[in-house]
Amino acid sequence: MKKPRISGLYAITPDLSNTGELLKKTQQVLAGGAQLVQYRNKTADDALRREQAGLLLQLCRKYQVPLIINDHIELAVALDADGVHVGRNDMSISDARKQLGQNKIVGASCYNHLELALQAQALGSDYAAFGAFFPSTTKTDTVPVPASLIGQAKQKITIPLVGIGGIRLTNAAAVIQSGCDAIAVCNDLFATENTAAQAEQYVRLFAAHRSM
C-alpha cells in the first residue's frame, strides 16, 4: 500500500477481548469512511494481540486503509503492518523508522508540547498527535491542549497534525477548525450502536470544513 498523507477520521480500537466484536465494529468504522485505523489494546496478552492485529490487518487491506500498531513495533514488523504509533516512553521515532523503513507510517504522541512535535518532524515522523483536547475515557492520565497550540504548530510544522483525546461529534468540529488534519476517535465510535453511521457523520464534518 502506498503511504498516504494522514487526514480525516483516525479510528483507534478500544480494549476488546472479544475479537469478533472488534472486527465487526472496525468493519463498520471502515465502511463509514475512516481513513486510518490504529490497533491499541493495553489489556491483551501477546497471543491475543497478534491474533487481533493480524485479522484487523486483513480487514483494513480490503478497504485499502492503513493499520497502525500502537507501541508494539515488533508486532508491526512481524505482520508487515502499515505503521506504528509511539509515545514518549516507547521506542524512539528514529529507531522505529530504521526497523520499518521509509514506506511505512511512523506517528508520534506529542501531548501538549510543540517542541516534541518539532523533534518528531526532524526525526522523520509522518504525523504529530496533540492531546488531550478534552477529558478522555480511554486514557485518564492526559494533559490538556490549549486552543492556541495547533495554530502555533501550523506555523512551524509541515507534517500532518492529529487531534486526540475525548473527541466526540459534539466537539469534533472545533478540533478540525483549529487546524488538525485528522482526528483520532475511540469511544465515540466503538461504543455507539450504529458505528458506520457515526463514522459517516465524522467524515461529513471534514467535508463541510473543506468546503468552507
Per annotation, catalytic residue among 25, 97, 104, 109: 109
The answer to whether 30 and 2 have CB atoms below 8 angstroms apart is no
Residue 49 above 80 pLDDT? Answer: yes
- Comparing CA positions, the residue from 173, 94, 185 lying closest to residue 131 is 185
* pTM, entire model: 0.95
Per annotation, catalytic residue among 40, 49, 97, 104: 40
The number of residues in the chain equals 212
pLDDT in tens, 184-203: 999 999 999 999 999 999 99
pLDDT of 140: 65
Interatomic CA distance for residues 76 and 16, integer angstroms = 19
Q: Catalytic residue at 40? A: yes
Cβ burial of 189 (10 Å; 0-12, 13-18, 19+) is: buried
User: What does the block give as the cell for 146?
Assistant: 490549549
The answer to whether 33 and 9 have CB atoms below 8 angstroms apart is yes
pLDDT in tens, 77-128: 999 999 999 998 899 999 999 999 999 999 999 999 999 999 999 999 999 9
Find residue 56's DSSP bridge partners: none
The answer to whether 48 and 19 have CB atoms below 8 angstroms apart is yes
Residue carrying the nine cell digits 461529513: 204
Residue 10 CB: number of other CB atoms within 10 A? Answer: 30
Please tell me the number of Cα atoms within 13 Å of 160 on its side-chain side. 19
DSSP 44: -
Per annotation, catalytic residue among 7, 50, 136, 139: 139
User: What does the block give as the cell for 207?
Assistant: 467535508
Residue 15 CB: number of other CB atoms within 10 A? Answer: 12
Interatomic CA distance for residues 179 and 182, integer angstroms = 9
pLDDT of 139: 67
Q: Kindly list the domain boundaries of the chain, sorted by start residue.
A: 8-210
pLDDT of 147: 73
CA-atom Rg of the chain in angstroms: 16
HEC profile of 66-99: CEEEECCHHHHHHHCCCEEEECCCCCCHHHHHHH
Q: Catalytic residue at 25? A: no
pLDDT in tens, 122-170: 999 999 999 999 987 766 667 789 878 999 999 999 999 999 999 999 9
Superfamily of segment(s) 8-210: Aldolase class I (3.20.20.70)
Mean pLDDT of 49-66: 98
User: What does the block give as the cell for 189?
Assistant: 465510535
The answer to whether 132 and 142 have CB atoms below 8 angstroms apart is yes
Interatomic CA distance for residues 40 and 12, integer angstroms = 7
